[in-house]
Chain A
Amino acid sequence: MNKLEKEEINLLNKLYLAVINLDPDMASEAAKEASNLDPLKAIEKGLAKGVKEIGDKFSKGECFLPELIMAGEAMKAGLQVLEPRLRRRGEKRKTLGSFLIGTVAGDIHDIGKTVVAAMLSAHGFEVIDLGVDIPAQEFVNKVKELRPDILGLSALMTSTMPAQKEIIDRLKETNLRKKVKVIVGGAAVTEQWAKQIGADAYGADALDVVTKAKQIMSSG
């Protein structure tokens, strides 16, 4: 092994450890140090490796939400440094798919959506989290702009569930519906509701969303 290879392994390990240690500052530092590294490699063999490990532990009940979320935060901090470089090189991360997610208008409940987002990242999806209380039109605009593979709509309250339907309807009206798969979820949401409003899938919990998203991606 030459000096350069050693250096590379060392840097990748640092990125991985930053995520495993749930430390966004360390991840950011490590990403800056890795300026000579192929950013794609740095993400996949460094940051993503750590997130995957934490995600697996979470699925097995060996670690909990704070770890899952903080690992995601660490990855995000690293990506902030690495992704602009990736774009400059005209490259794209290899992911399982891109997933646009947000909580619908009138609903400010963050946690369920955040957990789903973290689980999806941990399992290798590229996640764009719009946040909470997102108007229907903004979902539609973002779908048009970003062309995600999947759109995830979260609603905690029965009163905001109709907003999920409204978004799907608007996607139909703008001929975008066939270009994106829609998964709905949230405390009051059921399988039946998902069918009724014409969603492609229903996620019972974070792990279920990952399963459904993987199914969608593999069925092309």
Chain B
Amino acid sequence: MQTEERHARSNNRAKFMHTYITIELTNSEGEKSMKAIEILSKDQRYLLHLESLELLKRVGVRIPIMETLKLMEDVGCVVDYKEQIVKLPPYLVEECVRKVPHRVTLYGRDKKYKLKVGGDNVYFGTAGFATRMLDLKTGKDRPMTKYDLIELTKLADALDNVQFYTAIGQPLDVPLKISDRYQWAISLENTRKHVMCHATGKEAAKDAIKMASIVTGGEEELRKTPITTFVYCLSSPLAYEKEYTEAMIEMCKFGLPLYISSGPMAGVSSPVTLSGTLIVNNAELLSAVVLTRLINPEAPMIYASWARPTDMRTGRAVWGPENCLLRIASSQLARYYNIPCSCGGILSDSKVPDAQAGYEKALTALIPALAKTNLIKGMGLLDGENAASLEQLVIDNEIVGMISRILRGVEITDETLAADLILKVGCLGSFLTEKHTLKHYKDELWIPKLSDRLKLDAWKIAGAKTTLERAKDIAMKTLREHEVPPLSKDIHTGLWKLVEKAERKIKG
């Protein structure tokens, strides 16, 4: 009996030793520790690619600009001038895809805000188009003003996890036709971070280039260190809007980075099935790849998927779970093409910063981040992209903080394993008094700025404030204390002269 037991124990020992060796052998070096999550198999991804090419060949895209149609006909596209539809041959599309720069470096007017867009890098920022503002004092919504946009921009400048800035809203207290000029000027003036903005029409695009060049001190500087990106949205399904496209072409000629987004709504402007939506989405973006390569082969382009599900009660584009799936798939496609990618994310349909905003934003932020979507845009927005809120921007800053920690993963080195330290401290000892803790805690443990983690009674003593109330406190304090280094007087005057000039022009 005793012998048998001894025998069994030695067998066990052998078993464990065996496991130990196996673990050591499978720990291969150089392997990426956190891979992008995927939902498409290689075959499925290739099928989506082929189907997208088919769409472009058989359906084509509508571009209502004569000279662009001619340009495309010259390289082998089939053009129907009457319908203004251009059909693209697959070989052309594939050839053009290869020409898109794999990486683009974006700068802020302060060069420390540099983004290397492409590969596995993930950055978060704001998105645009809100026309309503949640008033900080009353919490009620009202039309957005210039002053609101200034405050939103300043707050975005102050918050660490807003890594680039898209003009969040369109002020309604300015002449609407030139509201884009205000957005460019206000953004360039009130943040040091990279600015993204749209513009409608050739003139607007030219003004935007002038404004950005004034800030960088010349057009050549702007090309070398682009402090702005032009935001363009396709019209789904498969169409280009005239004036907006003319502005984009102007930007492309200049060589400013282009943020090309396509946002078909499943069941409305694309098939209700997610795969059908994906090929419309992909075909639209590939058509933009061709168009931009023909105009300026070197122009950096960001492949931005804003494909969305539709709510079948209201017909509105919404931020449901399908977004997460679409984001993973479209990021896989962009990675397949080796084009920097982006998406709408950290967004919610809720009207106020409440629980729905929290869960929808957390999901639509985390999933694209895990899929390694390079630029995720939507911070500070509510009601889809229709309303902006300073408190929500503070909350989103917190969400992104948590996600950034997740993306850094688990570091495994001798120093982080700390085996010798565990030996030294022993059973029931404390690590709190160890230098190792002091040295590493800030890298290993995320420290919240907004979240409450107090004991119940301590929370009560601190005023029993809700997340929204604390976010409001932070927003107010930050706006009171944060100063964006001002632009020089000449630059400031230069920017606003352009706005005034445009304003005089439309007033005739």
- The segment from B13-21, B200-208, B402-410, B434-442 found at the interface with A is B434-442
**Quick one: given A108-B428, A114-B430, A114-B432, are A66 and B455 in contact (CB under 8 Å)?**
no
Among B428, B441, B461, contact of A66 (Cβ-Cβ < 8 Å):
B441
Cα–Cα, bound, A151→B272 (Å): 69
Contact A69 B441 (CB under 8 A): no
Contact B458 A22 (CB under 8 A): no
Contact A64 B455 (CB under 8 A): no
Contact A204 B458 (CB under 8 A): yes
Chain B residues within an 8 Å CB radius of A73: 433
Cα–Cα, bound, A205→B456 (Å): 10
Cα–Cα, bound, A204→B462 (Å): 11
For residue B457, CB closer than 8 A to chain A, the reply is yes
For residue B34, CB closer than 8 A to chain A, the reply is no
Among A64, A69, A187, contact of B433 (Cβ-Cβ < 8 Å):
A69
Residue among A22, A73, A111, A190 having the largest count of chain B Cβ atoms under 10 Å? A73
Cα–Cα, bound, A67→B433 (Å): 9
Contact B438 A70 (CB under 8 A): yes
Cα–Cα, bound, A208→B455 (Å): 11
**Quick one: given A22-B438, A70-B438, A208-B461, are A65 and B455 in contact (CB under 8 Å)?**
no
Query: A168-190: which have CB < 8 Å to B?
Result: 187, 190
Q: B470 to chain A: closest CB distance in Å?
A: 13
For residue B422, CB closer than 8 A to chain A, the reply is no
For residue B447, CB closer than 8 A to chain A, the reply is yes
**Cβ proximity bits B445-474 to A, threshold 8 Å, 1 near / 0 not:** 001000000110110110000000000000
Chain B residues within an 8 Å CB radius of A207: 458
Q: A97 to chain B: closest CB distance in Å?
A: 22
Among A66, A114, A190, A204, contact of B438 (Cβ-Cβ < 8 Å):
A66
**Quick one: given A66-B441, A114-B430, A208-B461, are A187 and B455 in contact (CB under 8 Å)?**
yes
Cα–Cα, bound, A73→B433 (Å): 7
Contact B432 A111 (CB under 8 A): yes
Chain B residues within an 8 Å CB radius of A66: 432, 437-438, 441
Contact A191 B457 (CB under 8 A): yes
Among B428, B437, B455, contact of A204 (Cβ-Cβ < 8 Å):
B455
- Give 10 pairs: A residue, B residue, CB < 8 Å, sorted on A: A69-B432, A69-B433, A70-B435, A73-B433, A111-B430, A204-B455, A204-B460, A207-B458, A208-B458, A208-B461
Among B430, B437, B455, B460, contact of A110 (Cβ-Cβ < 8 Å):
B430
Q: A129 to chain B: closest CB distance in Å?
A: 12
Number of A residues, CB within 8 Å of B? 20
Q: A10 to chain B: closest CB distance in Å?
A: 26
Q: B168 to chain A: closest CB distance in Å?
A: 28
Chain A residues within an 8 Å CB radius of B447: 64
Residue among B428, B433, B447 having the largest count of chain A Cβ atoms under 10 Å? B433
Chain A, Cβ-Cβ closest to B437: A66
Query: A196-213: which have CB < 8 Å to B?
Result: 202, 204-205, 207-208
Cα–Cα, bound, A14→B428 (Å): 34
Residue among B432, B435, B442, B447 having the largest count of chain A Cβ atoms under 10 Å? B432
Chain A residues within an 8 Å CB radius of B430: 110-111, 114
Contact B438 A67 (CB under 8 A): yes
Q: B263 to chain A: closest CB distance in Å?
A: 41
Contact B454 A65 (CB under 8 A): no
**Cβ proximity bits A33-59 to B, threshold 8 Å, 1 near / 0 not:** 000000000000000000000000000
Chain A, Cβ-Cβ closest to B431: A66
**Quick one: given A22-B438, A66-B438, A67-B438, are A204 and B461 in contact (CB under 8 Å)?**
yes
Chain A residues within an 8 Å CB radius of B454: 205
Among B428, B435, B441, B457, contact of A64 (Cβ-Cβ < 8 Å):
B441
Cα–Cα, bound, A108→B429 (Å): 11
Chain B, Cβ-Cβ closest to A112: B455
Cα–Cα, bound, A67→B430 (Å): 15
Cα–Cα, bound, A110→B427 (Å): 13
Cα–Cα, bound, A110→B425 (Å): 14
Chain B residues within an 8 Å CB radius of A70: 433, 435, 438
Chain A residues within an 8 Å CB radius of B441: 64, 66
Chain A residues within an 8 Å CB radius of B442: 64
Chain A, Cβ-Cβ closest to B440: A66
Chain B residues within an 8 Å CB radius of A202: 457
Chain B, Cβ-Cβ closest to A67: B438
Chain A residues within an 8 Å CB radius of B437: 66
Chain B residues within an 8 Å CB radius of A22: 438
- Extra 6 A-B pairs, beta carbons < 8 Å, given A69-B433, A70-B438, A205-B457: A64-B441, A204-B455, A204-B458, A204-B460, A205-B455, A208-B457
Cα–Cα, bound, A65→B454 (Å): 14
Contact A204 B432 (CB under 8 A): no
Cα–Cα, bound, A190→B457 (Å): 8
Cα–Cα, bound, A66→B430 (Å): 12
Residue among B447, B457, B460, B461 having the largest count of chain A Cβ atoms under 10 Å? B457
Chain B residues within an 8 Å CB radius of A204: 455, 457-458, 460-461
The 8 A-B pairs with the shortest beta carbon distances in the complex, nearest first, are A204-B457, A205-B458, A66-B438, A204-B458, A66-B437, A69-B432, A66-B441, A73-B433
Q: A157 to chain B: closest CB distance in Å?
A: 14
**Cβ proximity bits B393-429 to A, threshold 8 Å, 1 near / 0 not:** 0000000000000000000000000000000000010
